[in-house]
Structures are given as C-alpha cells and as structure tokens.
Amino acid sequence: MPWQLFRIMIVTLLLLTMQHSIAQQSAPTETTKSSQDVLVVVNGTKLTKMHFDQFVRLYYSGDKKWAQENKGQVMRQLVLQEFFAQEAKRLQLDQHPEIQMQFYLQNNNLLSRLMVDKSVKEKSGVTKDAVRNYYDANQTDFLDGETITVSHILVKTETEAHEVLKELEEGKDFAEVAKARSISASRADGGQIGKITRGRADPAFEKAAFALKVGEVSAPVKTKRGYHIITVTKRIEPRPKPFNKVKETIRQNMVDTYIKSLVQNVLGKASIEIKNTDYQFK
C-alpha cells in the first residue's frame, strides 16, 4: 500500500474518532439473530451486522440517517479500523504499557457509565410521574419574571420634574406632556418605553417603576440621565413556566441529585487506602 494512501487512511480514522467520543455510547440493546449475520470478512475475522450497528452508534450517533443511506462508506471505515487494529496487534502495539492503560481506562469508563445508567433507571425513582409531581409541588421555583409596561417623561432638572407633575395633576394627558417636555427619544411615542423586567433598567428607575400600581405616577426619580416621571400602564405578575419548558431541567436535576447520593454511598462503602497524601480527597 502506498505510504501516502496509508497516511490518508490513518488521518481519516483519527478525525472520525475525535469527532465522536466514547461518551456518546448508549446502553446495550437486545441481541437478535440478524445481528449475527456476517457482512464482511477481513483477513479471516468476521464482521457482523452487530459490528456495523455498534460502529454506527459509536461514531455516527448524530448522523444515523446518513450512515444508513451510505452503508458502503461506513463499512469502508469499519473495515479499515479492523485492518489497522490487526496490524497493530501483529506489531504488538497493543502490548505497550501506555496502550494497555488506555484500554483499561476506556473499559472502566464504559462500564461505569453503564452501571450508573442502570442504577438511575432502576433505583433513582426519576420517572415521568415523579418529575410532574415535583413540578406541581414546586411551581414557585419555576417562575417567569414579573413584567411591567412603562412610560416616562425625562427632564434635566428637579424643578422641571415638579412642573411636569403639576401638569399631570391638573389632568393633562401623560403622552401629550411627554411629547411636549420629555428629552428622551421615547417622546415621539408619548413616553412609552415598553416592557421591562427586574434587573434590566437603572436600579433607581426600576425600584420606583415596580413599586407603582397600574395607572399610578411616580415622584421625580433621579438617574444619571436626569429626572424621570414614571407611569405603569400594564403589569404581568410572575407565573409558573409551562411544564414542558422545564421538565427536562427538573429531570436532570433529580438525576444529578441521585448520582451525588450514589457517589457518596459508593465512597462510603468502598475500601480506599490513599498511599500518597497529595492525592487525598473527601
């Protein structure tokens, strides 16, 4: 085989491996008779449909449709992987201590993931009903923020602000006064700013605005821009987010909590002797 082609094949396989990590593996599936069908033989080694399907699951988890529509190209990669693995074994590369350690760690990584996944499914109690029940009991933890619709009149001095207040107290329309006296760009819209939520506006402005009831007008509020006269035209109180928007967050939090307890339980039962205090952990 020409060296250049050999290099291209190696680079192709390395790139494929880098793009699809072992973390994307899923739990084992039931073995069927068809999965034992031999698809190709490489130097005497039989590659079955199970080899092919697992190769797709491992390296093409995000492109399964493409893989099924391009079986020949996927098979080419599987055959190349088998060939190079055979060559590596012939050269006893698999006997190198660092490679042996990589095999060991990768094997442990896969097995530990499978064990945790099995424990979560069978013992965590994180079911659809449990997630729903948690949401129903803790809706105040999943609130959309309070929103108000605000208009304001901005002037340069406190004296002008009190003059504006007097005009409003005399019954003049807020929007008309804003158009006549405000120095804000919102004057063209009668002082309308629109919706604001907490944490998005100047603290002094926000504090005064959220303290108002709909239709109320504030006293002059000083910010670095000047003096504001504020009114609230609409208020939307905090309300629970829809279940469908938060159910996955709740489920993941419940799983995380279970795994933390699982880890503590395992560490509490295991016999662990730290030989080097630099590696001590709690």
The answer to whether residues 10 and 93 belong to one domain is yes
- pTM for this structure? 0.61
Kindly state the tokens that stand for 201: 């506006």
The answer to whether residues 160 and 234 belong to one domain is yes
The percent of residues above 90 in pLDDT, for the chain, comes to: 76
pLDDT number for residue 159:
96
Residue with tokens 């807020």: 174
pLDDT at 236 over 60: yes
Domain assignment of residue 201, yes or no: yes
The answer to whether residues 97 and 155 belong to one domain is no
The answer to whether residues 93 and 17 belong to one domain is yes
- Per-residue confidence band for 102, with pLDDT thresholds at 50, 70 and 90: very high
pLDDT number for residue 30:
62
End residue of a domain, out of 102, 130, 157: 102
The answer to whether residues 164 and 214 belong to one domain is yes
Give the model confidence (pLDDT) of 103-133 as tens digits: 999 999 999 999 999 999 999 999 999 999 9
pLDDT at 264 over 60: yes
The answer to whether residues 82 and 167 belong to one domain is no
- Per-residue confidence band for 14, with pLDDT thresholds at 50, 70 and 90: very low
Could you give the 3-state DSSP secondary structure of residue 117? helix
- Per-residue confidence band for 21, with pLDDT thresholds at 50, 70 and 90: very low
Residues with Cβ within 8 Å of 80's Cβ and at least 6 positions away in sequence, in order, are 9, 12, 13
Domain assignment of residue 188, yes or no: yes
pLDDT at 255 over 50: yes
pLDDT at 42 over 90: yes
The answer to whether residues 170 and 235 belong to one domain is yes
The answer to whether residues 162 and 98 belong to one domain is no
Nearest to 22 by CA among 82, 108, 115: 108
Domain assignment of residue 83, yes or no: yes
Domain assignment of residue 59, yes or no: yes
47 strand-pairing partners: 40
Nearest to 124 by CA among 25, 258, 10, 219: 258
End residue of a domain, out of 75, 102, 129: 102
Could you give the 3-state DSSP secondary structure of residue 234? strand
Domain assignment of residue 55, yes or no: yes
| Residue ranges making up the domain that contains 225 | 144-239
Give the model confidence (pLDDT) of 151-181 as tens digits: 999 999 999 999 999 999 999 999 999 999 9
Domain assignment of residue 233, yes or no: yes
CATH number at residue 229: 3.10.50.40
- Per-residue confidence band for 140, with pLDDT thresholds at 50, 70 and 90: confident
The percent of residues above 70 in pLDDT, for the chain, comes to: 89
Longest dimension (CA), the chain: 98
Asked whether the beta carbons of 234 and 194 are under 8 A apart, the reply is no
The answer to whether residues 7 and 70 belong to one domain is yes
Expressed in angstroms, the distance from the first to the final Cα of the chain is 54
The answer to whether residues 223 and 163 belong to one domain is yes
End residue of a domain, out of 50, 82, 102: 102
| Rounded Cα gap, residues 219 and 34, in angstroms | 79
Domain assignment of residue 81, yes or no: yes
Give the model confidence (pLDDT) of 197-206 as tens digits: 888 889 999 9
Domain count, the chain: 2
Mean pLDDT score across all residues of the chain:
88
Domain assignment of residue 124, yes or no: no
